[in-house]
Amino acid sequence: MRVALGVTGCIAAYKAVEVMRGLQKRGATVQVVMSRHATEFVTPLTFSSISGLPVVSDMWAPTDDPEIKHIRIAQSIDLLLIAPATANALAKFANGIADDFLSTLYISTNAPVLVAPAMNSEMWLHPATMENVRRLKERGVQFVDPGEGYLACKTVGPGRLAEPHEIVERALEIIETKQSAGSESQPANLDLLEEHVLITAGPTYEAIDPVRGITNRSSGRMGYAVAEAALSRGAQVTLVTGPVSLDPPAAARVIRVQSAAQMYDAVMGSLSEATLVVMAAAVSDYRPAQVAGRKIKKDGSGLVIELEPTEDILAAVCRRGGSRVVIGFAAETDNLLANASKKLVEKGADLIVANDVSAPDAGFDVSTNRIVLVSSEQVEELPLLSKRAAADHILDAASKIKAARTPA
């Protein structure tokens, strides 16, 4: 597993050292490529001492190597990761400018490209930057979007480099996906070619008044990972998604919803054509019985909101019967196996995917998951995996269930 780590010139360049170490701990060989301005923030010696490889920063440096270095690196890597990526770097990539080693490497490689931007809020939100991001995404470049926080310019807002562990996990997900597809001599696993997979993902939002609501911390990453995995295995995919900040897979049919009622209608309206249902969304269990037409004003006194149950989408899907395989999720904070087993029986699902959302590496809004697959036949505990890898395990289990009920 070989990664080219591009480092560009901003204060967040020091965090690239943590990214490099995280990749190395997971078995990657990391070739660091620095822009000229990046060397003003962190010295090449820092990276070369830790990576064990010379840092590339000069397109025209004398060398005894007869090979063209940027072509050799471009052809040998499994991923080009740029972290941090400045607004200037994004502009170069989007417009095909190749005036240094890193930008030339970008335009020369066929490997997947992952970009983790970092910059001032105004720069990140500027229409020119947003247009460059849009163009790069259209070309297949993937992003770990910046977070919000205290920035070097002493302001608070979007533009802060994503946490190094998030960047590392996303990089590994991409490499795993690439490797699972196999080489040209190895045919892709298209075991779901005849399947239509209906997937729910993300949170729901239940309005209290025009500006407030009840929701949860689900990022949608698990459901989106299942959608990507199903598509890669040949399935047709309908993705019913609550409000998230993720880009859905291009080949999926996407239905965007807000509330549990809207998700219920979308799922039931798409159910007839589905052969496999994966209910990965974190659906609100309750909603306000009455929604205020105006913003509720704070008056110093307490506020009581009457709640009513939302639609039980998983139970409704299971009641429809049919030969489809139905998979539910159980996000728990205690008594994981007992609660998952109870849900399996009460809802009538074929499989429950359970995880402890209080765990820092397997809860909401992280790239990894530690799941337990609970069925009437067995309980299978899986180790810490990327959500993309976990998605394939879930689909493997679904395929086994379907095969077991199909006559020989």
Handedness of CA 144, 149, 154, 157 (dihedral sign): positive
The reply to whether 153 belongs to the active site is yes
> What is the C-alpha separation between 94 and 132, in angstroms, rounded?
5
Burial degree of 206 (CB within 10 A; 0-12, 13-18, 19+): buried
Catalytic pick from 11, 153, 246, 382? 153
Q: Which residues contact 43 (CB under 8 A, 6 or more apart)?
A: none
**Residue among 325, 374, 316, 351 nearest 195 (CA):** 325
Q: How far is CA 354 from the centre of its chain?
A: 19
d(CA 179, CA 197): 23
Q: Could you give the C-alpha distances from 70 to 49, 107, 344, in angstroms and in order?
A: 21, 10, 54
Q: Cα–chain-centroid distance for residue 33? A: 25
Helix residue ranges per DSSP H, 27-126: 44-51, 69-76, 87-95, 101-108, 121-125
Contacts of 133 (CB under 8 A, 6+ apart): 90, 94, 117, 143
Residues 249, 359: Cα–Cα separation, whole Å: 28
Q: What are phi and psi of 379, to 5 degrees?
A: -120, 120
Active site members: 153
